[in-house]
Structure 1
Amino acid sequence: MVLTALRGALGFLTRVPVGRDEAAWEAFSRSPWTFPVVGYLVGGLLAVPLLLASPPASAPAPTVALAFVLAVYVVTGIGHLDGVADLGDAAVVHGDREERRRALKDSALGVGGTVALALVVLGLATAALALIEIAAAAGGSGAPLAALGIVVAAEVGAKAATATLVCVGDAPHEGLGSVLTGESSAGATLPVLALAAPAAPLAWPRLLPGLTALLAALATAALVARWARRRLGGISGDALGATNELARVAALHAGVIAWTRF
């Protein structure tokens, strides 16, 4: 069951061609602890493009930043970006919950969704540029483990943040959100956080950047949850997808700030 759940998590959270069968999906939907576990793998893959900034490649920083953004969506897909766009459109609606829910279901991309998508992509690119600066300042000829560790910690944090909402959230209507939140209870948050905690020291030799990245991701989840409950009536699938993307950006920047300022 553990391996089946992990296959399902890989199939849902990444573009890896495994875990797309019904048994894997059902095992995954009952196992929010798989989110941070997959986060370690995804974070490791996303950190690889940062190595291009060091010899022998020594690629220009903007090129590496572009490669980082591309890697994020090659590895994880663009499905969660749909949640960002939908929540962005809902956020600018002047109306009640029902009007915002209609905006979520509208397949047309509005101004709010466009701005939200642009901010997420810009956030990833600028975070990558800052990580390259950290690597150059601290590692000389080679990208230090610190910069790579921040990427992994941020991804684990983003996955743990999403899983936390799965555990404590209630969906406002039937759909992906209700399928996931209906299978887990608040008590399932404990193994999620326990599995995410080892990501904190990955930005060695400092503890604060990784820890800050994790906490920033969880804080983002709390903000999304508060907004979604007040404005939408609960945690929908779009809210879960948006949490993953927003928490990743927030965690990356928080980790960078913690490294450079403290």
Structure 2
Amino acid sequence: MRDGVRLALTTFTVVPLRAGRVDRPAAGVAMALAPAVGAALGVALAAVLFGLAAAGAPPLVAGGVTLATGALLTRGLHLDGLADTADGLGSYRRGEAALEIMKKPDVGPFGVAALVLVLLIQAAALAGLAHEGWAAVFATTVAATATARLAATWACRRGVPPARPDGLGALVAGTVGPVTLAVATAAVAVVAIPAVPGRPWQGPVAVLAALAVAVLLLRHCVRRFGGVTGDVLGAAIELAATVAYIALALR
């Protein structure tokens, strides 16, 4: 458990911890704890967003700085994964040919478009949230970031193969069992209930909608690439966050 917690924090954040045991059992714990790490990240982002709004920053500026803070706290890995996955899918190639495109250090037009659109939507959603008060900012941001990491948990469920024999995908693919998946999903759905005051059903629906879109992306990536990679996990996280923010922004 200790190694799993350490691996979860070092994988999903920039928390400087010493490397512990890195194997599939520890990876399974780490992926199960991903939503909890996301919720903690959401608390930090909520503080940034609310603080900037209280200081008089324009809503879009507050939203943009909050996203930049999130990128810094996660080393931008999820955004990088989104860009690489978009380039791989946009190439219309399959298997190893698509994986080779994803491994290139540059970002292609599909990756740029995906990054711009996702960041624009997320910043706009946060901008609309900025002046709604601490409770709304806290609940919505925590729910969205926890849901995003829950998408990674789902991407690591049993039966989903890795696309490569090495790398992060090979380490985490298939490490999360159905009971853990059900408990994590239920916990995030409960956390999302207060995200929209007066509509206790909207938060859980937003969680399920984000997961549905992430699972569809995952299935498509498995067909195209042969399995999951670390880039696919990042893409699932960013896409789920975007859908969650959209669904929670509907007041």
TM-score (norm 1): 0.85
1:87 CA displacement: 0.8
Instruction: Work out the CA distance in 1 between the residues paired with 2:170 and 2:91.
Output: 23
Q: Deviations over 1:37-74 (max 9, x none)?
A: 1122111111112213544x122222212221112112
Which residue matches 2:86?
A: 88
Q: Deviations over 1:124-147 (max 9, x none)?
A: 2111112125x1xxxxxxx14123
Give the letter aligned to residue 209 of structure 2. A
Give the letter aligned to residue 43 of structure 1. G
| Partner secondary structure for residue 22 of structure 1 | coil
Which residue matches 1:151?
A: 141
Which residue matches 2:47?
A: 48
CA contact (8 A) 1:154 1:217 kept: no
1:96 CA displacement: 3.4
Q: Does 1:166 align with 2:156?
A: yes
Which residue matches 2:76?
A: 78
Q: How many corresponding residue pairs?
A: 247
Gaps of 5+ in 2: none
CA-based RMSD of the aligned residues comes to 2.1
Instruction: Work out the CA distance in 1 between the residues paired with 2:173 and 2:124.
Output: 33
Match of 1:68 among 52, 66, 70: 66
Which residue matches 1:221?
A: 214
Which residue matches 2:236?
A: 243
| Partner secondary structure for residue 130 of structure 2 | helix
1:157 CA displacement: 0.7
Give the letter aligned to residue 164 of structure 1. W
Per the alignment, do residues 44 and 25 of structure 1 end up closer, same or farther by CA in structure 2, a change over 3 Å counting? Answer: farther
Per the alignment, do residues 24 and 198 of structure 1 end up closer, same or farther by CA in structure 2, a change over 3 Å counting? Answer: farther
1:8 CA displacement: 2.1
Instruction: Work out the CA distance in 2 between the residues paired with 1:66 and 1:207.
Output: 28
TM-score (norm 2): 0.89
CA contact (8 A) 1:7 1:24 kept: no
CA contact (8 A) 1:36 1:159 kept: yes
Give the letter aligned to residue 224 of structure 1. L
Match of 2:191 among 199, 203, 208: 199
1:98 CA displacement: 3.2
1:33 CA displacement: 1.9
Give the letter aligned to residue 138 of structure 2. L
1:247 CA displacement: 0.9
Q: Deviations over 1:76-112 (max 9, x none)?
A: 2211222111111112213333322221122222111
Task: Identify which range, 99-108 or 195-204, moves more after superposition.
Answer: 195-204
Instruction: Work out the CA distance in 1 between the residues paired with 2:209 and 2:219.
Output: 15
1:241 CA displacement: 1.2
Identity score, percent? 32
Give the letter aligned to residue 36 of structure 2. V
Instruction: Work out the CA distance in 2 between the residues paired with 1:28 and 1:80.
Output: 21
Instruction: Work out the CA distance in 1 between the residues paired with 2:150 and 2:92.
Output: 32
Which residue matches 1:12?
A: 11
Instruction: Work out the CA distance in 2 between the residues paired with 1:145 and 1:129.
Output: 15
Write out the 4+ residue segments of structure 1 that deviate beyond 4 Å after TM superposition: 24-27
CA contact (8 A) 1:212 1:251 kept: no
CA contact (8 A) 2:53 2:62 kept: no
Gaps of 5+ in 1: 136-142
Give the letter aligned to residue 16 of structure 1. V
Q: Deviations over 1:178-219 (max 9, x none)?
A: 110143344431232233233122326331342233113211
Per the alignment, do residues 147 and 29 of structure 1 end up closer, same or farther by CA in structure 2, a change over 3 Å counting? Answer: same
Which residue matches 2:107?
A: 109
